Amino acid sequence: MTSRINTRGQVGKVLANKTGGLKVQNENLARPPLPGKAGASSFLRDTTNKVLGLKRKADGAPDEEKATKKRSAFGDITNAIEKKINDGKKVTAQKGRLMRSASTKSLVKPLSKPAAAKDKVPAKTAKAEVSAPEVKTQAKEISFCDSLPSSQDTVFSSQESKTDLDDSAAYVTASEGRYCLSKASLQASVLGCSLPVKDVVEKAPVVEQEPVSKLPEGVEDYDKEMENDPFAVSLYAQDIFEYYKGRESNFVIDKYIDRQPDVSRSMRAILIDWMVEVQESFELNHETLYLAVKIIDLYLAKTVIKRDVLQLVGSTAMFIACKFDERTPPYVDDFLYICDDAYKRKELIEMEIKILKVIGFDLGVPLSYRFLRRYARCAKVSMEDLTLTRYILEMSLMDYELLDASDSALAAAALLLTRIIRGDSTWTPTLQYYSGYSMEDIYHLVHHLHQMISQPPKEHLKTIRNKYSHKVFFEVAKIPIPETLNI
């Protein structure tokens, strides 16, 4: 792909001529990287690919992706609690426990040995015989739980106090949950004591789970097929994309060009065309490109700028998107380099802060590209048809008229247009179910996209067409487009 980018030519001159202020004059984005920067790894990778005879591959087919090595992120995690049973030994009072003071009038018998208390002298006699120093010494060895009263006011009855509490089978611990404790059990559990099994009341009622609703007739259950793949998160996939659709209302962008005296539609299209070339040069994810374009529109819809900072906004938006979506995002110096050092490092960082403040630091924007991946997987679309749909969707990024269109509906319309171009104008029940749109809902978007790609390419906006004319992308940009649509 580097050879194609080298032949683009006049990138900076076109930007300078069309915008009147974009300061890029570099005609070759793929010159050797600066030493010690992120471009070095890219240069080494490109050199290795040439030696081994490798070339850049397109995205894998949605239904043929190779599963990576599965690994538990946090190891073995369990909520099981080890049972610890008091063997009848005295528990030394710890810091923070309530202990009896030397002024205590009576010393009650320990709860852990009720049977042995019968063999001793009565409580009144013991109280008279024990001196104050002895009471203080003994109080240090008795915890608050062991000093619970055993008279009629205690939480246990007289018959229960005769139970052999040293028997481990007579107790339950926190790990033996799913039981409801009685009022006395709850009181004792707060105090940190174990309870006999007879004080545990009946089990809580088991709530039966409602059966999962069946899919409409003719709809293939894709999530059911992928339930054994942990990376597909099939249990939550449908809810995730329903959540994405619900968030679309938070990122509605109105048409702002009328409020931007120094920015025009053509300038916006030139900027996005340049960003596509940056995405190819750095080999970034497609989601990064789509998110960067959204960040630009969100920022320009709320802030009036001068034309000489338009490219700075574009490169900074790409920088922010890389941080959000890339595993190893390029450095700041790499983005200054692609701008031909027209801006300083401080200016880019300040612009990053401004953009994030204006958009509210919310980068979880629903993207049409993500919706397309979901639709294509569920409908099991071929890789060639998916690539053609990506080409249509990527061309729509430069169309200012589609600025306020729903991303989920736009992805569905692009996929339907691809099916029509391929000679299949049916919108299957599976696609209708997973997309949430009927053919009537996206009818107007399909015609708009058809008119967009039917236009002859402009001389200064050829990057996307050239990109998808490559064999890696099945040369989908060369597929003839019908003049009329049979829908």
Give the residue carrying structure tokens 């900076």: 12
Closest CA to 245 of 358, 113, 371, 140: 371
Residue 378 resides in a domain: yes
Closest CA to 145 of 117, 115, 108: 108
Question: In the listed set 174, 192, 210, which residue is the last one of a domain according to the structure?
Answer: 192
φ, ψ of residue 123 to 5 degrees: the values are: -65, -40
Residue 372 resides in a domain: yes
Runs of H (alpha helix) within 153-264: 183-191, 222-225, 237-247
Residue 391 resides in a domain: yes
Integer Cα distance of 407 and 366 in angstroms: 7
3-state secondary structure of 171: strand
Q: What residues contact 134, with CB distance under 8 A and at least 6 apart?
A: none
What confidence score (pLDDT) does residue 203 get?
A: 53
Question: In the listed set 157, 192, 227, which residue is the last one of a domain according to the structure?
Answer: 192
Is the alpha carbon torsion for 44, 46, 48, 50 positive or negative? negative
What confidence score (pLDDT) does residue 128 get?
A: 45
What string of DSSP letters covers 114-162? Answer: TTGGGGS--HHHHHHHS-HHHHHHHHTT--TTTT---STTSSS-TTGGG
Q: Which residues of the chain have pLDDT under 70?
A: 1-213
Integer Cα distance of 436 and 409 in angstroms: 9
User: Residue 441 belongs to a domain with what CATH number?
Assistant: 1.10.472.10
Residue 419 resides in a domain: yes
Integer Cα distance of 148 and 108 in angstroms: 8
Residue 208 resides in a domain: no
Integer Cα distance of 23 and 19 in angstroms: 9
Angle separating helix axes 286-300 and 368-379, nearest 10 degrees:
140
Integer Cα distance of 145 and 273 in angstroms: 75
User: Is 410:445 a contact under the CB 8 Å cutoff?
Assistant: yes
Closest CA to 330 of 292, 369, 387: 292
Q: Which residues pair with 196 in a beta bridge?
A: 171
Integer Cα distance of 219 and 430 in angstroms: 4
What confidence score (pLDDT) does residue 459 get?
A: 87
Integer Cα distance of 446 and 425 in angstroms: 11
Looking at the structure of the chain, the number of domains it has is 2
Integer Cα distance of 121 and 354 in angstroms: 82
Residue 127 resides in a domain: yes
DSSP state, residue 46: H
Integer Cα distance of 190 and 148 in angstroms: 13
User: Is 287:308 a contact under the CB 8 Å cutoff?
Assistant: no
3-state secondary structure of 25: coil
Question: In the listed set 192, 208, 223, which residue is the last one of a domain according to the structure?
Answer: 192
Residue 24 resides in a domain: no
Residue 30 resides in a domain: no
- Range(s) of the domain holding residue 395: 368-478
φ, ψ of residue 465 to 5 degrees: the values are: -65, -40
What is the chain's alpha carbon radius of gyration, rounded to the nearest angstrom? 36
Residue 316's Cβ-side half-sphere holds a number of Cα atoms within 13 Å equal to 22
Amino acid at position 119, single letter: D
User: Is 414:484 a contact under the CB 8 Å cutoff?
Assistant: no
